[in-house]
A and B are shown apart, each in its own frame.
Chain A
């Protein structure tokens, strides 16, 4: 129990109990999103920044957020480092803290992040005092440069955004988890709680989920399921999973010292 209390995620000068970050896109309504955030137990949420449209006035998403939530606006829509920096400035001007998820995407088909532009934007924004969480293709060279640049965390993708295909980049994620000293937040592509659980078992520090929750038949129930899965995976990681046998078996029950039954009798009684 004591261990559980002390197991917090330290990130950007803050401490979090929850290791599930939630995105706020694709929910049918903000009211539904709000319930999902509550059910998920998430303490960090992502939002996007977009042009306000006078012809289709939107509700203010901020009024649907728990008071103590940490905002991680993203720079989605940016195709270059320069655009990401500009969006980060606008997001900061909203007055919701200095965290920024740097997301630079120049590929319209697979929505793959541009690691090179992401490093450039991260260098600039860290210098300006932002808490920067860059979203990348899971590449060790890029992640190392991001750490050198002062990124607060590294957020490698599991599969293409919104695809719900799970941990397709598993082997690369494993390398980042082993080699990178800042928190690794597995982002994008996680489609099921079991996949979030596996990422946590592997030693990821947190996961960011959005589509899997938002497009579920019951997003609130799915948010609760992800909360349990992330907590279970984290506990399993802390408990240190046992070794995997490459072949044959190893009985869990003792094989000796019990009844000496003749083989015929075993066959008759099954």
Chain B
């Protein structure tokens, strides 16, 4: 299954969930937020939401910033 994750191409097994993708990228749950096709997937739903080919995913986290 072909995905776009944070602007990069990524291949993942068919039927993978959001939780699978986050784990595959090595991110700890609770430290990132996931957006699938411009809709936020809440942490509780990660295990239930199956990805589809050509999904556009953004995985973001808080970082140092200010002014």
What's the Cα separation between A62 and B26 when bound, in Å? 18
B12: Cβ under 8 A from any A Cβ? no
Contact B67 A62 (CB under 8 A): no
Interface string of B15-48 (1 = CB under 8 A from A): 0000000000111101111010010101000000
- Complex-state Cα separation, A211 to B67, whole angstroms: 7
What is the number of residues of chain B that contact chain A, defined by CB distance less than 8 Å?
Answer: 24
Instruction: State A57–B42 Cα separation when bound (angstroms).
Output: 21
Pairwise interchain contact B66-A73, C-beta atoms closer than 8 A = no
A76 at the interface (CB under 8 A from B): yes
**In the complex, which residues of chain A have a beta carbon less than 8 angstroms from the beta carbon of B6?**
51-53
Q: How far is the CA of A5 from the CA of B11 in the complex (A)?
A: 59
Shortest beta-carbon distance, B53 to chain A, in Å?
Answer: 20
A46 touches B67 (CB 8 A): yes
A22 at interface (Cβ–Cβ under 8 A)? yes
Cα A22 to Cα B38 in complex, Å, equals 30
Query: 8 Å CB contacts to B: which residues of A7-39?
Result: 22-27, 30, 33
A61 — which chain B residues lie within 8 A by C-beta? 61-64
Q: How does the 8 Å CB contact mask read for A33-74 relative to B, with 1 for contact and 0 for none?
A: 100000000000111111111100110111000000000011
Q: Is the CB of B64 within 8 A of A48?
A: yes
B66–A49 contact, CB under 8 A? no
In the complex, what residues of A have CB within 8 A of residue B7's CB? 51
Whether A208 is near chain B, meaning CB under 8 Å from some CB there, is: yes
Nearest CB on B from A47, distance (A): 4
CB atoms of A23 and B66 under 8 A apart: yes
- A230 CA / B2 CA spacing, docked (Å): 53
- The answer for the CA separation of A51 and B61 in the assembled complex, in Å, is 6
Across the interface, do A93 and B33 meet the contact criterion of CB distance under 8 Å? yes
Given A48-B62, A50-B60, A52-B60; A208-B67 close (CB under 8 Å): yes
A52, B25: Cβ atoms closer than 8 Å: yes
| A23 engages B61 (CB within 8 Å) | no
Rounded to whole Å, the gap between the CB of B5 and the closest CB of chain A is 8
For A47, give its contact among B25, B33, B65 (CB under 8 Å).
B65
Q: Is the CB of A60 within 8 A of B66?
A: no
Q: List 25 A-B contacts (CB under 8 A).
A: A23-B67, A25-B67, A27-B64, A33-B64, A47-B65, A48-B64, A49-B61, A50-B60, A52-B6, A52-B27, A52-B32, A54-B27, A57-B26, A60-B30, A60-B31, A61-B64, A74-B67, A89-B40, A93-B42, A94-B33, A96-B62, A162-B67, A187-B67, A209-B67, A210-B65
Which residues of A come within 8 Å of B, CB atoms? Answer: 22-27, 30, 33, 45-54, 57-58, 60-62, 73-74, 76, 86, 89-91, 93-94, 96, 135, 161-162, 187-188, 208-211
